[in-house]
């Protein structure tokens, strides 16, 4: 806002918002049918289909709305499950009902929208990406490089005002649908079918859609971030890094593995963030996939016991949290406009410590029991409790805290809600960073003017200023080393450094001139 | 014995003193201010106006901090000090008794009796109140004139530009801040100012401010007779100690409150620190009145030691200061004067494209480093302090420059090859 809004920027907003509008409108234009083919495409087998078809009554039925599909299919599935249970065929019972309703709906998506999915994909994603780039590109020409935070606290989107709350509500709703009721966003998922079909040869599942969307967001908002901090090579390099890890390691390689019919693996995802790594189905998958499977198992364990301690000792947790991680990648790019909204109060810090280590303990206990039960005979005493724990963790941590709150609350609580309060891997990395690492943020002597830019723009809610104004280095478990505090400091007071452990933490120095140094 | 320590002023000096007294003693501490209820960082006022931060972000301590550390805050205006009865009188007519008094009332912006200087929309940019006034006036400001080529002036220019206000910048000297900066650095800042489409007018002064019938400003006339239409005039021609309430108190004042090297006034147990203090015998090379954040903080720390029976003279060490001119940071260590002293020589390189510059000043006779200016380059305070204090040579600094650099990781070493 230091320069008047540029015409290209305005056009960019119009194009982007139109695409966003169209993307949402698709939710209301899909038509559905229930046919033998559509039911079969859901993956149900003959026995299940037989019961379900009877329950559904006459088929085919055409020209249904999404809500009519839910109204018909849900009760029929319930009855099917009841019958299967009565007959003792419990192995055929469908436990994830919302997912099955979605599969059946998606198989029956028909009409104009279904036939023109490729067209809609182009109409949404091309202008969406183009528009977003048009918003930021003019800054290259019209704004000098440097910190440009003008107007952030006047903008209703970035100052936790009506627009921020609205976006948060929208995101929360999106995540609730994505995790728990995907049928309500069937069209948004189907729009990526053409991409999925051309890569994998099969229609898109919800995680394909989410992965694609996620990658595009990191890419586009990553370009925005690079433009914004183009005077700062640390910021440019780490953003290129998160873009690489998302597009190649997290998105592309797993697709290739799928094509090759190998076990799924995101090679940069580390337990306990990857909380199901030690679940028996994952272990069995690796053990039955030959050399590659063994390698994957070895790789995953090496990351936990070698890479995390070693790299965190050398560079701090930033090597992962703001250079590699996908959650961190989204937070740093798409979430950057909201970094200033993190709570800096001491209360928030106290809550943070309780929350994050609770999740870490939960994940550790669950994993320990999982592994123990794996070595015991089937139907051991841990079997049932472990399953319950998996369910609770998956729902509470894997879905609600990571997605619904962790990302949905960006515009309200800042962009690192998940990373700061709940991520168990961040907890693990943080313990090493706090007690055994060469990393610190160095304070430059007495140059601090207590202005508060560093604290305000710290996404982890660290009160950086409270250290800087006392001449203390910043050594905190939560610091992800994004480097923004050092970037926004108007007096060159902060520097992220790896150095000798000796002198890393300075306790309460008094800065009263070098001749009066007392401690 | 528990004493009642009263501090007038809740800026960086007064608050630093309060905090360090609390660290070392159980005395009762009261801080009085009529500007804001809580301590905030004055240097951050500009960021509130530019939308980088809100007022609450400029408070270095959360509001519970004061009670927890038993520092009583009084939001009131001090009218006078009664040294005989060890009492101060406040606006709400309550008297506050003290055993030890610290005067830390800071500065107020200078006004030099220009015609029209009390019109609506003419003020400085120093206090929270100035910021609030500017904010209230902003909707009707299309063009502004900023008078005075110093640090507050250039910050005010940047603030106004962030709201798309056209700015004319009247500077009395031949070049920006040329009373402090050598010609080359000053010229670089001139270029930076102009590159932001500021109408920078050098070698000119404010002559008159013209108003309309309702008491609002209409325009400004400078000493060259040129008229500039504007709705706001920012007066940033320096600041003076804010000590008028001490008139006839018996506490000796000149420009500021006169203090000895222990920051004590002529009256026992009455101290003055920060912008409002005037040193009777300033430390080497320093000015009697130092109006800088850092010196205020050092005085606060020093006086706290003395008051808590660790008597310490004010020895601020090697001079340092910093600023930011738009996107270009400035740091200085030791003494760099606008013109060299007879026994000094200098080494200077700049990179005009990147707005980077480095100047070393050293003694002719032995090359000993005496001062450094850096623009667009961050230097390590502790390293520069050591090199200057211990008399390292300029050559040594150039050879070991990497050890002194404080730029973020992966930054290229400053390219200073172009002269």
Which of B50, B294, B323 minimises the CB distance to A150? B50
Give how far B404 is from chain A: nearest CA, Å: 11
Please give the Cα distance from B334 to B285 (Å, whole number).
Answer: 10
Q: Say yes or no to pLDDT of A379 above 80.
A: no
Nearest to B381 among A444, A449, A453 (CB): A444
pLDDT of residue A515: 44
Which residues of chain B are within 8 Å of residue A154 when distances are taken between CB atoms?
Answer: 51
Given an 8 Å threshold on Cβ–Cβ distance, is B162 in contact with A346? no
As a whole-number percent, the residues of chain A with pLDDT over 90 amount to 90
Q: What is the pLDDT of residue A512?
A: 53
3-state secondary structure of A452: coil
Q: Average pLDDT, stretch B183-210?
A: 97
Asked if residue A272 has a cis previous peptide bond (ω within 30° of 0), the answer is yes
Residue to substitute from A445, A464, A499, interface B, most B β-carbons within 10 A: A445
| A-B contacts (CB, under 8 Å) | 165
SS3 A32: strand
ipTM for this prediction: 0.96
Average pLDDT over residues A407-419: 98
- In this complex, do B406 and A495 lie within 8 Å of one another by their Cβ atoms? yes
Q: Do A449 and B43 touch (CB under 8 A)?
A: yes
State how far residue B315 is from chain A, nearest Cα, in angstroms: 6
Nearest residue to B29 via CA among B42, B14, B51, B12: B14
Distance from CA of A268 to the nearest CA of B (A): 24
Contact A491 B58 (CB under 8 A): no
Task: Give the global pTM.
Answer: 0.96
Tens of pLDDT, residues B255-280:
999 999 999 999 999 999 999 999 99
Decide if B44 and A483 are in contact by the 8 Å CB cutoff.
no
Share of chain B above pLDDT 70, in %: 99
Compute φ and ψ for B80, nearest 5 degrees: -160, 165
Interface contact B406-A346, CB threshold 8 A:
no
Range with the poorest average pLDDT among A169-178, A258-267, A372-381, B406-415: A372-381
Paired tokens of A485? 């505090």
Q: Are B75 and B33 in contact (CB under 8 A)?
A: yes
Q: Which one, of A410, A360, A439, lies nearest residue A157 by Cα?
A: A410
The structure tokens listed for A313 are: 């000792």
E strand or H helix at A419: helix A417-421
For chain B, the residue count is: 419
* Residue A201 burial (10 A CB sphere; 0-12, 13-18, 19+): exposed
Backbone angles phi, psi at B211, to 5 degrees: -120, 170
Considering only the beta carbons, identify the residue of A346, A453, A486 that sits closest to B62.
A346
More confident residue, A488 or A90: A488
pLDDT of residue A384: 87
- Position A257 pLDDT exceeds 70: yes
Nearest to B293 among A3, A345, A449 (CB): A449
pLDDT of A505 > 90? The answer is no
The confidence band for A382, taking pLDDT boundaries of 50, 70 and 90, is confident
Average pLDDT over residues A263-270: 96
> pLDDT, tens digit, for every residue of B53-105?
999 999 999 999 999 999 999 999 999 999 999 999 998 878 999 999 999 99
Contact between A512 and B294 using a beta-carbon 8 Å cutoff: no
Question: Which pLDDT value is given to residue A2?
Answer: 44
Give pLDDT, residue A381: 82
pLDDT digits (tens, 9 = 90+) for A198-246: 999 999 999 999 999 999 999 999 999 999 999 999 999 999 999 999 9
For the cut 80, the answer to whether the pLDDT of residue B301 exceeds it is: yes
Closest CA in chain B for residue A514: B317
CB B322 within 8 A of CB A444: no
Q: Which residue has the tokens 């472990």?
A: A386
Asked if residue A508 has pLDDT above 70, the reply is no
Q: Which residues of B touch A445 (CB under 8 A)?
A: 320, 380-382, 385
Q: Provide φ and ψ at A422, rounded to 5°.
A: -130, -25
Residues of B in contact with A453 (CB under 8 A): 44, 47, 52-53
> Which residue of B lies nearest to A347 if distances are taken between CA atoms?
B62
> pLDDT averaged over chain B?
96
Give the pLDDT confidence score for residue A59 in this predicted structure. 83
DSSP secondary structure letters along B276-305: GEEESS-STT--SS---HHHHHHHHHHHHH
In this prediction, residue A4 carries a pLDDT of: 63
Nearest residue of A to residue B299, measured between CA atoms = A512
Question: Averaged over B22-44, what is the pLDDT?
Answer: 97
Q: Which two tokens stand for residue A168?
A: 């948060």
Pick the residue of A5, A6, A139, A150 with the most B CBs within 10 A to test the interface with B by mutation. A150
Q: Mutate which of B409, B410, B415 to disrupt the A interface (most A C-beta within 10 Å)?
A: B409
Q: What does the pLDDT average to over B172-190? A: 98
Q: Do A456 and B52 touch (CB under 8 A)?
A: yes
Mean pLDDT, residues B248-261 taken together: 97
Considering only CA atoms, which of A105, A25, A103 is closest in space to residue A64? Answer: A105
Pairing mode, if any, of strands A494-498 and B143-147? unpaired
B371 vs B359: CA distance, rounded Å: 8
CB contact under 8 A, A153 and B54: yes
pLDDT, averaged across chain A: 94
**Cα distances (angstroms) measured from residue A124 to each of A15, A31, A300, B224:** 10, 19, 37, 60
pLDDT tier at A493 (50, 70, 90 boundaries)?
very high
pLDDT digits (tens, 9 = 90+) for A421-465: 999 999 999 999 999 999 999 999 889 999 999 999 999 999 999
A232 contacts on B by Cβ (under 8 Å): 408, 411
Task: List chain B residues with CB under 8 Å of A496.
Answer: 408-409
- Shortest Cα distance from B298 to chain A (angstroms)? 5
Question: What pLDDT, in 10s, does the model give residues A167-197?
Answer: 999 999 999 999 999 999 999 999 999 999 9
pLDDT confidence of residue A380: 80
* Integer Cα distance of A161 and A165 in angstroms: 6
Residue to mutate among B195, B322, B328, B333, with most A CBs inside 10 A, is B322
B273 CB neighbours in chain A (<8 A) are none
> What's the gap in Å between the CA of A378 and the closest CA on chain B?
54
Enumerate the residues of chain A whose CB falls inside 8 A of the CB of residue B317: 513-516
Contact between chains at B320 and A496 (C-beta distance less than 8 A):
no
Contact B294, B258 (CB under 8 A): no
pLDDT tier at A510, thresholds 50, 70, 90? low
Q: Do residue B408 and residue A483 have CB atoms under 8 angstroms apart?
A: yes
Whether the pLDDT of residue B417 is over 80: the answer is: no
Minimum CA–CA partner of A237 in chain B? B410
pLDDT in tens, A294-348: 999 999 999 999 999 999 999 999 999 999 999 999 999 999 999 999 999 999 9
Q: Which of B43, B161, B317 is nearest residue A515 as measured by Cβ atoms?
A: B317
Whole-number Å distance between alpha carbons of B272 and A31: 80
Question: Do B320 and A447 make contact, defined as CB atoms within 8 angstroms?
Answer: yes
Distance from CA of B414 to the nearest CA of A (A): 13
Q: Can you say whether the dihedral through the CA atoms of B335, B337, B341, B344 is positive or negative?
A: positive
List the single residue in B with minimal CA-CA distance to A236: B410
Indicate whether A418 pLDDT > 60: yes
What is the DSSP pairing of strand A109-110 with strand B71-75?
A: unpaired
């Amino acid at each position: 806002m230091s320069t008047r809004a540029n015409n290209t920027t305005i056009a960019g907003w119009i194009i982007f918002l139109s695409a966003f509008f169209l993307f949402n409108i698709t939710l209301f234009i899909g038509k559905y049918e229930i046919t033998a083919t559509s039911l079969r495409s859901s993956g149900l087998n003959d026995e299940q289909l037989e019961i379900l078809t009877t329950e559904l009554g006459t088929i085919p039925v055409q020209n249904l709305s999404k809500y009519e599909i839910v109204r018909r299919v849900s009760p029929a599935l319930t009855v099917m499950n009841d019958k299967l249970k009565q007959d003792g065929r419990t192995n055929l019972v469908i436990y994830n009902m919302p997912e099955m309703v979605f599969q059946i709906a998606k198989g029956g998506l028909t009409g104009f929208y279904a036939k023109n999915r490729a067209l809609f994909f182009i109409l949404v994603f091309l202008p969406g990406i183009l528009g977003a780039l048009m918003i930021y590109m003019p800054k290259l020409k019209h704004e000098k490089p440097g910190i440009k935070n003008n107007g952030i606290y006047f903008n209703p989107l970035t100052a936790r005002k009506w627009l921020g709350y609205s976006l948060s509500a929208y995101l929360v709703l999106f995540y609730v649908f994505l995790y728990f009721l995907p049928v309500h966003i069937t069209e948004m998922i189907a729009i990526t079918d053409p991409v999925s079909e051309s890569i994998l040869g099969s229609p898109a599942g919800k995680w394909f859609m989410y992965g694609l969307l996620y990658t595009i967001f990191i890419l586009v908002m990553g370009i925005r971030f690079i433009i914004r901090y183009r005077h700062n090579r640390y910021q440019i390099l780490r953003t290129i890094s998160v873009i690489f890890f998302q597009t190649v390691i997290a998105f592309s390689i797993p697709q290739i593995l799928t094509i090759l019919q190998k076990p799924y693996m995101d090679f940069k995802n580390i337990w306990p963030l990857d909380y199901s790594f030690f679940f028996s189905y994952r272990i069995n998958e690796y053990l039955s996939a030959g050399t590659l499977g063994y390698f994957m198992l070895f790789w995953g364990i090496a990351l936990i016991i070698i890479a995390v301690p070693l790299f965190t000792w050398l560079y701090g947790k930033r090597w992962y949290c703001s250079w590699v991680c996908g959650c961190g990648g989204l937070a740093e790019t798409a979430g950057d406009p909201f970094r200033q909204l993190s709570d800096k109060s001491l209360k928030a810090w106290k809550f943070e410590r309780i929350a994050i280590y609770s999740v870490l303990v939960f994940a550790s206990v669950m994993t320990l029991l999982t592994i123990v039960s794996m070595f015991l005979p089937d139907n051991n005493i841990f079997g049932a409790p472990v399953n319950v724990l998996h369910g609770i963790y998956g729902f509470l941590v894997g879905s609600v805290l990571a997605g619904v709150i962790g990302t949905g609350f960006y515009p309200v609580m800042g962009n690192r809600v998940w990373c700061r309060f709940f991520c168990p891997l961040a907890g693990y990395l943080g313990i090493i960073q706090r007690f055994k690492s060469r990393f610190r943020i160095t304070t430059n002597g007495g140059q601090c003017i207590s202005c508060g830019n560093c604290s305000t723009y710290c996404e982890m809610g660290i009160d950086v200023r409270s250290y800087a104004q006392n001449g203390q280095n910043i050594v905190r478990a939560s610091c992800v080393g994004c480097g923004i505090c050092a970037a926004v400091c108007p007096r060159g007071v902060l520097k992220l450094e790896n150095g000798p452990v000796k002198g890393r933490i300075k306790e309460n120095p008094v800065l009263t001139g070098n001749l009066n140094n007392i401690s | 014995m528990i004493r009642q320590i009263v501090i007038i002023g809740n800026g960086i000096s007064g608050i630093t003193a309060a905090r360090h007294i609390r660290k070392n003693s159980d005395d009762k501490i009261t801080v009085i201010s009529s500007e804001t209820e809580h301590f905030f960082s004055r240097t951050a006022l500009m960021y509130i106006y530019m939308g980088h931060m809100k007022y609450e972000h400029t408070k270095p301590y959360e509001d519970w901090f004061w009670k927890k550390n038993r520092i009583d805050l009084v939001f009131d205006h001090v009218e006078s000090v009664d040294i005989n009865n060890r009492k101060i009188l406040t606006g709400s007519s309550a008297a506050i008794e003290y055993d030890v008094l610290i005067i830390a009332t800071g500065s107020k912006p200078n006004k030099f009796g220009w015609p029209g200087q009390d019109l609506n929309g003419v003020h400085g940019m120093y206090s929270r109140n100035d910021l609030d006034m500017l904010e209230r006036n902003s909707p009707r400001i299309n063009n502004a004139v900023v008078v005075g080529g110093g640090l507050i002036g250039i910050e005010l220019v940047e603030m106004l530009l962030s709201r798309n206000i056209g700015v004319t910048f009247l500077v009395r000297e031949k070049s920006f801040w040329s009373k402090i900066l050598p010609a080359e650095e000053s010229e670089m800042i001139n270029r930076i100012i102009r590159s932001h489409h500021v109408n920078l007018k050098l070698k000119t002064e404010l002559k008159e401010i013209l108003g309309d019938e309702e008491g609002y400003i209409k325009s400004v006339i400078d000493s060259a007779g040129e008229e500039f239409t504007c709705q706001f005039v920012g007066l940033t021609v320096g600041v003076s100690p804010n000590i008028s309430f001490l008139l006839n108190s018996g506490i000796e004042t000149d420009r500021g409150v006169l203090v000895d090297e222990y920051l004590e006034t002529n009256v026992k147990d009455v101290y003055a620190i920060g912008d409002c203090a005037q040193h009777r015998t300033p430390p080497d090379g320093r000015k009697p009145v130092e109006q800088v954040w850092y010196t205020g903080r050092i005085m606060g720390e020093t006086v706290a030691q003395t008051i808590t029976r660790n008597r310490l003279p004010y020895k601020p060490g090697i001079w340092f200061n910093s600023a930011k001119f738009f996107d270009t940071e400035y740091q200085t260590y030791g003494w760099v004067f606008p013109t060299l002293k007879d026994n000094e020589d200098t080494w200077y390189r700049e990179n005009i494209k990147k707005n980077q510059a480095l100047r070393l000043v050293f003694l002719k006779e032995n090359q000993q480093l005496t001062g450094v200016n850096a623009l667009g380059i961050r230097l390590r305070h502790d390293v520069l302090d050591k090199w200057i204090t211990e008399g390292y040579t300029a050559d040594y600094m150039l050879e070991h420059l990497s050890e002194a650099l404080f730029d973020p990781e992966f930054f290229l070493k400053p390219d200073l090859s172009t002269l």
